[in-house]
Amino acid sequence: MPNPAKNPAWQHLDRDATRAAQGRRLHRYLRDCVLPFSLHYKNLFAEHGLAAGDIRTVDDLKKIPFTSKEDLLPTEDNPRRTLDFVLKPEPAALSRRPSVILRALLRGKARVRDELDREWRPVFMTSTTGRSTEPVPFLYTQHDIAHLGLGSGRIVEIGGVQREERMINMFPFAPHLAFWYMYYSGLDRNIFALATGGGKVMGTEGNLRAITKLKPQVLVSMPTFLYHVLQQAVEQKLRIEGLRILVLGGDKVPDGTRRKLGALCEQLGSPGVRIMATYGFTEAKFAWTECPIVPGTEPPGYHLYADQGIIEVIDPETGEPQPDGVGGEIVWTPLDQRGTVVLRYRTGDRIEKGITWDPCPCCGRRLPRLVGKISRVSDVHSLRFQKIKGTIVDFNELERALDDLPGLGAWQIELRKAHDDPLALDEINVHVTTTGDASAGHLDHAIRELLHAHFEVTPNKIVTHTAEEMRALQKVGVALKEQKVVDNRPSGSGPGREAGDVHRSTP
């Protein structure tokens, strides 16, 4: 099987050539892999009078109805509905294929049977992290596992990571895409990588020990966890020299967060660190990356792997594909996957400036890029927009604004009811740590002004904490993910649910 990772030709094709190649690959993929072997898409295509022959170009994609999260959730009639999306070839159908017959003649039947088994049998899974809905499993065959390395290896390649460098992967150990994706990155590119399992497995202390012992050039982490680890290193007056690249995923990476992480690295003895933000999701089995940039530089956008899948940006209202450079909802279609396969999957995530095909200003690659801010929609849709004290607040925006506020270190928003009475008014409390030489009084004023001017919200309390208290509040090392928004209201959206979950599962 040709290995496109080692074939960089796609990085240099222009838009038309890329889309032409994508169209051919899409047609063959539907014809040979999806339609014969996916129960869901076999039925869906039949219902709409569609066949593989109708889909030969990227423009033809829009004939295929969207798939959404709801299509994957179990129903009473079909409690194992996600299995309808798993490609399940009939051995007899495969063995009749001329290419298979030829391979069997050349290499022997037993070996080809084993190869087909490795290509098609699911042996691995990751899942989404929905709290309000069942987690949705995505199954992988060996073919897909190889693609984890292919995709994450490209992150390492775009980062310009050298063979002799060392990486530490601090993504939380769980059956989630982020941890496993980056686990395979070092293996794919033959670069030393330690996966610590993140805070819950080793605590901030254990991760710091690993960093000081192994002296990595590359740290891979969720941004908030990395912030706490580096902050603790500063408190302990450690020296961490030689850090070159921070690969961030699993959450958005606002400019303010980039600046704070850069400043902490500098304090620790690693000036000029570069940051790579990644974007991915369970359903794609891929994550994509920006070029490494110094904090404060305009992010260049996420390089997509045009040979491995098609990302469309659609108008979320009409479902029509947007022209290049226009924002909208991100929709995913793979071109070479086995196991669980979704076509035209609506992520619910919004990309601000859509797709560009211009060469990347940093590296010159011609891969299409997703440009602008990405607003991730939750598995828990209700918490993206919350009515707080009678005002609708977009938490994506609120989080971004707080992350960008100078002088504010870590923070947590707490929603509660006065006196824990479900009928009482909402209260919003902001817990903060200061950074640099910002005073608590000054920060208090700045936060009130920001919340009032941009969100029409007046917080009840702003409480300043030490870094250690904040680590406890955010459950660093206890929860899989740091809790930046907690809902402690006794009724309605449910006690203790974290709005932090809006960022879904992925790296």
Q: Please report, as ranges, the residues that interact with Zn ion according to CB under 5 A.
A: 291, 360, 362-363
108's CB contacts (< 8 A; 6+ apart) are none
- Looking at the Cβ atoms of 135 and 372, the one nearer to Zn ion is 372
What are the structure tokens assigned to 202, written together? 């080793």
- State the nearest-atom distance from the C-beta of 337 to Zn ion, in Å: 25
CB 11, min distance to Zn ion, A: 10
Shortest CB 284 distance to Zn ion, Å: 19
Whole-number Å distance between alpha carbons of 13 and 27: 20
Give least dist CB 158 to Zn ion, A.
6
**Minimum distance of Zn ion from residue 244's CB (angstroms):** 17
Q: Least distance from C-beta 290 to Zn ion, angstroms?
A: 7
C-alpha–C-alpha distance, residues 66 and 148, integer Å = 25
Question: How near is the Cβ of 270 to Zn ion at its closest, in Å?
Answer: 22
Query: At closest approach, how far in Å is the CB of 230 from Zn ion?
Result: 26
Contact 459, 447 (CB under 8 A): yes
State both tokens at 476.
């660093």
C-beta closer to Zn ion: residue 218 or 388: 218
Report the residue number, 154 or 503, with the smaller CB distance to Zn ion: 154
CB of 185 to Zn ion, least distance (A): 17
Least Å distance, CB 332 to Zn ion, is: 21
Task: Please answer whether residues 123 and 141 qualify as being in contact, where contact means their C-beta atoms are separated by less than 8 angstroms.
Answer: yes
Map tokens 């889909």 to a residue: 55
User: What does the radius of gyration of the chain's CA atoms come to, in whole angstroms?
Assistant: 24
- In our burial notation (b when 16+ CB lie closer than 10 A, e otherwise), range 433-456 reads bbbeebeeeebbebbeebbeeebe
To 5 degrees, how large is the angle CA 262–CA 267–CA 272? 40
Shortest spacing between CB 363 and Zn ion, in angstroms:
3
* The one-letter amino acid at 122: P
Secondary structure of residue 278 in the 3-state scheme:
strand
Q: Which is nearer to Zn ion, 296 or 364 (CB)?
A: 364
HSE on the CB side for 174, CA within 13 Å? 22
Q: CB 218 → Zn ion: shortest distance, Å? A: 17
E strands within 104-240? Answer: 124-127, 137-140, 166-169, 192-195, 218-221
Q: 304 or 360, CB closer to Zn ion?
A: 360
| Residue with Cβ nearer Zn ion (247 or 473) | 247
> 379, 129 in Cβ contact below 8 A?
yes
Instruction: Give the H/E segment covering residue 276.
Output: strand 274-281
> Sheet harboring 369-370: ordered strands across?
192-195, 166-169, 218-221, 245-248, 274-281, 286-289, 302-303, 369-370, 355-356
Q: Which residues pair with 228 in a beta bridge?
A: none
Q: Which two tokens stand for residue 197?
A: 């399992």
Name which of 55 and 367 has its Cβ closer to Zn ion.
367
CB closer to Zn ion, 362 vs 450: 362
Q: What six digits make up the tokens of 78?
A: 């079909």
Cα torsion 34, 40, 43, 45: sign: negative
Residue 31 or 365 having the CB closest to Zn ion: 365
Residue 195: count of CB within 10 angstroms of its CB = 19
Please report how close the Cβ of residue 273 comes to Zn ion at its closest, in angstroms.
18
Residue (122 or 368) nearer to Zn ion, CB = 368
Nearer to Zn ion, 244 or 489 (CB): 244
Residue at 89: amino acid letter: P
List, in order, residues 6 or more apart from 504 with CB less than 8 Å away: 128, 129, 281, 282, 376, 378, 379
Distance CA 87, CA 53 (A): 19
Residue whose CB is less far from Zn ion, 203 or 249:
249
Return all residues near 93 (Cβ < 8 A) that are at least 6 apart: 36
